[in-house]
Amino acid sequence: MTLSDPTPDGRFGDFGGRFVPETLVPACQELEEAFIEAWADPAFRAELDGLLVNYAGRPSPVTECPALSDELGLRLLLKREDLNHTGSHKINNVLGQALLARRMGRNRLLAETGAGQHGVATATAAALLGMECRIYMGEVDVRRQELNVFRMHLLGAEVLTAMSGSRTLKDAINEAMRDWVATVESSYYCLGSVMGPHPYPLMVRRFQEVIGTEARRQCQELIGGVPDVVCASVGGGSNAIGLFSGFADSDAELVGVEPAGGAAVGRGVPGVVHGSASYLMQDEFGQVLEAESISAGLDYPGVGPEHSYLAATGRARYESVADDEVVEAFQLLSRTEGIIPALEPAHALAWVSRERVALAGRTVLLNLSGRGDKDVGQMMEILS
Amino acid sequence: MTGTGTVESALRTRLDGGGRCLVPYVTGGLGGDWTSTIQAVAAAGADVIEVGIPFSDPVMDGPTIQAANDRALGTGATPPGILDSLRGLDVGVPLVVMTYYNIAYRMGLERFASTLADSGVSGCILPDLPLEETGPWAEAADACGVETILLAAPTTPDARLPLICERSRGFVYGVGVLGVTGVRSELASSACTIAGRLKAVTGRPVLVGVGVGTPEQAVEVSGRSDGVVVGSAVVQRMLDGAGPDGVAALVSGFREALDSEFQTAASHQGRISS
Ligand SMILES: Cc1ncc(COP(=O)(O)O)c(C=O)c1O
């Protein structure tokens, strides 16, 4: 284990905790106990590992990028979470939580989604395990990720449109939490990132640590050590924390990349929303600001508490990139390597590309957290 | 237990007379006449008034209070602005603020508590701050004499109820339904259940709110509780543009229904609440 665990009350330093209505406290306590017990149970772990291998297609490879590396003047490695079943890293977490839900006797999965990747993964797990599934998605995201809405419908999930606030991920979480408050006795809330009340930030990290564990071994085989820089895009921060977990005890520099319009660490101050204390984009009075990003998956004003902790301790640093740099990076990887990335990991690549001079000659491992199929419609409009 | 605060004293006065308590909720900063609405609601027979400070992401609230929040925020309502308006407002009954934790956290807990006290606010309800997380806030509030009212939910296990009651000041807020705020056509059976469970473990006043939207529902649950908090029904009237008099008329309806059921019955039976 390379990242430190939170305190029993769910704190990573000053961040984290369990700030939820009383109605949900017993459910969080029950979940914490169930997760600890399941994680320690070899049978649970074996079933999850089996699904990750035989259903999701793990391990995902690490791919060298000779042409792009040449162009950028550095050595770029991609951790290929885009090759997972359903097209992103989200499936790692969802399979774990769905098995846990079944173990807890819950037959209804409830989730929020931004880009729709977590929604699709949750709908997939529900179909696989024969569970009911309801997904909340902001109206703006329903429009810009309509392909994923259709996929969720095909998979048998019900998709509800969140019409409040900015009508993006933040509001989808609000609606999912309201549903959870009303249905807590029958529903399992399958949160999609390392955020929310304790134990979610820890539990989701555990389910995503597989990314870092594999990557550490793969880097050892490929380059005989650890990369100089390990980077990933950060929305709530699950793909980033998953990859970071494999390198936190190494000399590798850890870099999280946020969208300029949703830079919780970069532009936020400590606050409390959606169950935990963390950096948060908010006004002087504590009203949460609406994020504004080209990428539905990163369009969120908060960030998981452990990232706030890693930023505060200096173990990781957080940079941001603008939408136009992301559009460039999206095309760059497609053209040079034949890999169309999702807009979320294109943020990490945009940072690498911008910092190519500072990164010259170094080895950079980037989490390619998802594939771009869902984004081609949006990109067609942007590029036309 | 510390000495009885302003909120609890006001509620006890009503209970000692054999009646049941009525705590209407008014969204702060909603419309130009919301402070007049508070005064009218007090005159209509409220024992305590809950003033909502709007928050951008109210996860315990349904469509009505969300819409009220959005409208108030859209017209520039801010926490200091609302508290400023309350300062020196002559209401005649205690005020408690209801908002979400980030509003207090952002201002700083000590500063928020002292600003409440300066503004003449006696108590505070933070629905996303459960017992385990309440320590730092409750300490700051205690230091300023602000009563921190905690919530107990239908899902709260028996063993946890006395802990919540012990830390709660003013009254204990029993959440009447499994769900967020909003008017329902019928009173959920969970409303009477939570009232009964709380009354069995505490001497503090027990009020039930969330899902209490009509005078009939208020009377029904007050058979088990010490009274009710009425939120969405009141706020809907405000949203509909009823104005201070229109909102007061609604509150009078609740007052009269509670009084005709309990005050008279109590004087007949000579019932004195502890
Ligand atoms: C491909 C992909 N990467 C990243 C993210 C951002 O989430 P997180 O920061 O939790 O990895 C999303 C979210 O939708 C996503 O779909």
> Which of A359, A311, A313, A376 minimizes the C-alpha distance to A68?
A359
- Strands of the sheet with A275-280, listed across from one edge: A11-12, A15-19, A275-280, A269-273
Q: What average pLDDT does range A91-120 have in this prediction?
A: 97
Q: Is the dihedral of CA A120, A122, A126, A128 positive or negative?
A: positive
Give the pLDDT score at B268. 45
Q: What is the mean pLDDT of residues A85-99?
A: 98
Find all residues with CB under 8 Å of B172, minimum gap 6, and list them: B149, B150, B151, B152, B164, B165, B198, B202, B204, B205, B206, B207
A21 to B151: CB separation less than 8 angstroms, yes or no: yes
pLDDT on residue B274: 38
Give the residue, A215 or B267, on which the prediction is more confident.
A215
pLDDT at A2: 78
Residue B3 is predicted with a pLDDT of 65
**Active site includes B61?**
yes
pLDDT at A60 over 60: yes
- pLDDT average, residue stretch B150-160: 98
pLDDT tops 80 at residue A84:
yes
Cis peptide before A59 (omega within 30 of 0): yes
What local confidence, expressed as pLDDT, does residue B263 receive? 78
Spacing, Cα B195 to ligand 1 middle (Å): 44
Residue of A164, A177, A272 with shortest CB distance to B101: A272
H/E stretch holding B224 reads none
Which of the residues B8, B47, B61, B261 is marked catalytic?
B61
Topology classification of domain A57-88+209-383: Rossmann fold (3.40.50)
Encoded amino acid at A246, one letter: G
Q: What is the pLDDT of residues B57-89, one digit of tens each?
A: 999 999 999 999 999 999 999 999 999 999 989
Averaged pLDDT for residues A342-347: 98
Averaged pLDDT, A22-40: 98
Query: Mean of the pLDDT values across residues A111-140?
Result: 97
The mean per-residue pLDDT over the stretch B262-271 comes to 55
pLDDT tens for A220-233 read 999 999 999 999 99
Nearest CA, atom 12, ligand 1: A297
Residue B1 pLDDT grade (very low, low, confident, very high; cuts 50, 70, 90): very low
Amino acid A329: pLDDT: 98
DSSP E strand stretches across chain B: 21-27, 49-52, 95-98, 121-125, 147-149, 151-152, 172-175, 206-209, 227-230
Q: Where are the domains of chain A?
A: 11-51+90-200, 57-88+209-383
Q: Label the pairing between strands A75-80 and A62-64.
A: antiparallel
pLDDT-above-70 percentage for chain A = 100
The 10s digit of each residue's pLDDT in A269-280 is 999 999 999 999
- Kindly report the three-state secondary structure assignment for every residue of chain A: CCCCCCCCCCEECCEEEEECCHHHHHHHHHHHHHHHHHHCCHHHHHHHHHHHHHCCCCCCCEEECHHHHHHHCCEEEEEEHHHCHHHECHHHHHHHHHHHHHHCCCCEEEEEECCCHHHHHHHHHHHHHCCEEEEEEEHHHHHHCHHHHHHHHHCCCEEEEECCCCCCHHHHHHHHHHHHHHHCCCEEECCCCCCCCCCHHHHHHHHHHHHHHHHHHHHHHHHCCCCCEEEEECCCCHHHHHHHCCCCCCCCEEEEEEEHHHCHHHHCEEEEECEEEEEECECCCCCECCCCCCCCCCCCCECCHHHHHHHHHCCEEEEEECHHHHHHHHHHHHHHHCCCECHHHHHHHHHHHHCCCCCCCCEEEEEECEEHHHHHHHHHHHHC
Contact criterion met (CB < 8 Å) for B131 and A25: yes
CA A87, CA A98: separation in Å to the nearest integer?
18
The finding on whether A122 has its CB within 6 A of some atom of ligand 1 is no
Task: For chain A, positions 125-164, list CB contacts with chain B under 8 A.
Answer: 164
CATH topology of domain A11-51+90-200: Rossmann fold (3.40.50)
Is the CB of residue A111 less than 8 Å from the CB of residue A119? yes
Q: What is the mean pLDDT of chain B?
A: 95
The one catalytic residue among B16, B33, B47, B50: B50
Q: Do A21 and B153 touch (CB under 8 A)?
A: yes
Closest-CA residue of A relative to B102 is A272
Judged by DSSP in three states, B21 sits in: strand
Instruction: Answer whether A88 contacts ligand 1 (Cβ < 6 A).
Output: yes
> Which residues contact residue A74 at a Cβ distance below 8 angstroms, ignoring those fewer than 6 apart?
A352, A356, A359, A360, A361, A362, A363, A364
Does A177 score more than 90 pLDDT? yes
The pTM of this model reads: 0.97
Averaged pLDDT, A254-279? 96
> Where do the structural domains in chain B lie, given as residue ranges?
21-268
Q: Which residues of A touch B101 (CB under 8 A)?
A: 19, 272
What's the rounded Cα separation, in Å, for the pair A220 and A213? 11
pLDDT tens-digit readout, B7-53: 999 999 999 999 999 999 999 999 999 999 999 999 999 999 999 99
Cα A89 to ligand 1 centroid, rounded to whole Å = 8
Instruction: Note the pLDDT tens digit of each residue in B91-149.
Output: 999 999 999 999 999 999 999 999 999 999 999 999 999 999 999 999 999 999 999 99
User: Which amino acids of A are annotated catalytic?
Assistant: 65, 89
Q: Do A181 and B160 make contact, defined as CB atoms within 8 angstroms? A: no
Q: Domain B21-268: give its CATH code.
A: 3.20.20.70
